[in-house]
């Protein structure tokens, strides 16, 4: 209890307040108001406008990819990316149970089924070893891809999520997926600004999706982006997310089922102003993470840090408690003292809509589920 009380005092000291401290709030310290006013004055506040184009170019630069597509939110980005990568109704997708529900929902939206595999303890993201073990037991490699021996269904994609901005072991995971002819799609919703071996997350998979929800490191209220180094897929993504309309000066012709997943120019203006500050946000959060690390290690609590060869954005910072009892005490005490903390997500197969999905033993995921707590991580 003494360590928890010390943590409460330390967190309040970091944010210089005795008022309620949220988990993660946006920081608007740049050109947000200026760009919003410009957008309103232009009257282009909907899905067509200069800031949508600028946002896409900025995302291409930040992620070192060839094409970015602005979308309405990160979930929509994953859904469309799954379609672009070739996932069809009846297919299965390898992913992790330790994730935000949007990862699994996006798979279900494509009328596909998630298979939940374990995570690594160090990254909290999909484990290459778990994927390899699963495929060695259930994989059936054919000319047109990999099939599941148990269900007879095609495994259309592998969808790792970079938990809290900590990159998964991408090199090993890509090697396994390539050997089994399974395309990789990165759920990079939480990892904008994170790096794996000197390259941005989102630049490794066939495609990737990012989120700009109100609690993300960079926000535009909502919003998301699909990125890829495959220009053909990128152009197809832009086409599908803008209702699959054939370009014409005045005619409305749509030649396949598309989506109205467009990001409004108003949101894009806010996103551009936020992206301009990304490096400053990253530096600020890394300084906070270092301060947290020193404090928590001194007080006998494990603070989660980036793995070797990676650079985390430290979007949501977290501690690992000794057991579920300690976790629950930490949650109750901090929240009762105006410091918002929250547990990691409930594992997806515990939810009623995914309880019948195939899964492995989930040893690491269940260990982490009982111990990980997010702590206030806003820019100071």
Tell whether the model's pLDDT for residue 269 goes beyond 90.
yes
Tell whether the model's pLDDT for residue 89 goes beyond 90.
yes
Evaluated on CA atoms 321, 25, 119, 289, the torsion sign reads negative
Task: Name 147's bridge partners.
Answer: 140, 154
Residues 151-196: tens digit of each pLDDT? 999 999 999 999 999 999 999 999 999 999 999 999 999 999 999 9
Q: What is the pLDDT of residue 1?
A: 79
Tokens of 306: 């980036």
Q: What is the pLDDT of residue 347?
A: 98
The answer to whether 285 touches 379, Cβ cutoff 8 Å, is: yes
Tell whether the model's pLDDT for residue 36 goes beyond 90.
yes
The C-alpha atoms of residue 334 and residue 326 are separated, in whole angstroms, by 12
User: Domains along the chain?
Assistant: 2-27+278-348+358-375 (3.90.1150.10), 32-276 (3.40.640.10)
pLDDT category of residue 134 using cuts at 50, 70 and 90: very high
Mean of the pLDDT values across residues 42-67? Answer: 96
Residues 323-362: tens digit of each pLDDT? 999 999 999 999 999 999 999 999 999 999 999 999 999 9
pLDDT category of residue 23 using cuts at 50, 70 and 90: very high
Q: What is the pLDDT of residue 320?
A: 98
Q: How do 139-142 and 145-148 pair as beta strands?
A: antiparallel
The C-alpha atoms of residue 300 and residue 295 are separated, in whole angstroms, by 9
Residues 115-130: tens digit of each pLDDT? 999 999 999 999 999 9
Q: What is the pLDDT of residue 43?
A: 95
pLDDT category of residue 207 using cuts at 50, 70 and 90: very high
Q: What is the pLDDT of residue 211?
A: 98
What share of the chain has pLDDT > 70, as a percent?
100
Evaluated on CA atoms 284, 58, 161, 355, the torsion sign reads positive
Residues 300-328: tens digit of each pLDDT? 999 999 999 999 999 999 999 999 999 99
pLDDT category of residue 47 using cuts at 50, 70 and 90: confident
Contacts (Cβ under 8 Å, ≥6 apart) of 71: 77, 80, 223, 224, 225, 226, 241, 261, 262, 263
């Amino acid at each position: 209890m003494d360590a928890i009380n010390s943590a409460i005092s330390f967190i309040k000291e970091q944010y210089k307040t005795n008022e309620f401290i949220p988990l993660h709030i946006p920081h608007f310290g740049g050109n947000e108001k200026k760009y919003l006013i410009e957008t309103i004055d232009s009257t282009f506040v909907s899905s067509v406008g200069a800031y949508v184009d600028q946002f896409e170019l900025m995302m291409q630069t930040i992620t070192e990819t060839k094409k970015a597509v602005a979308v309405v939110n990160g979930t929509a980005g994953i859904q469309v990316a799954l379609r672009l990568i070739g996932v069809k109704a009846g297919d299965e997708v390898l992913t992790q149970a330790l994730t935000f529900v949007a990862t699994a929902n996006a798979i279900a939206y494509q009328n596909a089924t998630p298979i939940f595999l374990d995570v690594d303890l160090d990254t909290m993201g999909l484990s290459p070893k778990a994927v390899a073990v699963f495929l060695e037991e259930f994989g059936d490699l054919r000319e047109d891809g990999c099939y599941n021996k148990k269900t007879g269904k095609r495994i259309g994609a592998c969808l790792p999520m970079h938990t809290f901005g900590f990159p998964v072991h991408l090199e090993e995971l890509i090697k396994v997926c390539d050997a089994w002819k399974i395309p990789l799609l990165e759920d990079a919703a939480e990892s904008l600004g994170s790096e794996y071996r000197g390259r941005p997350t989102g630049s490794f998979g066939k495609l990737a999706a990012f989120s700009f929800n109100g609690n993300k490191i960079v926000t535009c209220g909502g919003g998301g982006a699909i990125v890829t180094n495959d220009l053909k897929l990128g152009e197809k993504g832009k086409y599908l997310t803008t209702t699959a309309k054939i370009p014409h000066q005045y005619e409305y012709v749509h030649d396949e089922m598309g989506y109205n997943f467009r990001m409004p120019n108003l949101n894009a203006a806010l996103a551009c102003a936020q992206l301009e500050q990304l490096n400053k946000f990253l530096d600020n959060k890394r300084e906070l993470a270092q301060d947290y690390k020193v404090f928590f290690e001194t007080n006998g609590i494990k603070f989660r840090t980036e793995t070797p060869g990676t650079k985390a954005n430290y979007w949501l910072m977290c501690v690992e408690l000794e057991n579920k009892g300690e976790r629950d005490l930490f949650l109750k005490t901090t929240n009762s003292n105006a410091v918002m903390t929250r547990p990691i997500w409930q594992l997806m197969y515990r939810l009623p809509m995914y309880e019948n999905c195939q899964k492995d033993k989930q040893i690491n995921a269940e260990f982490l589920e009982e111990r990980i707590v997010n702590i206030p991580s806003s820019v100071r």
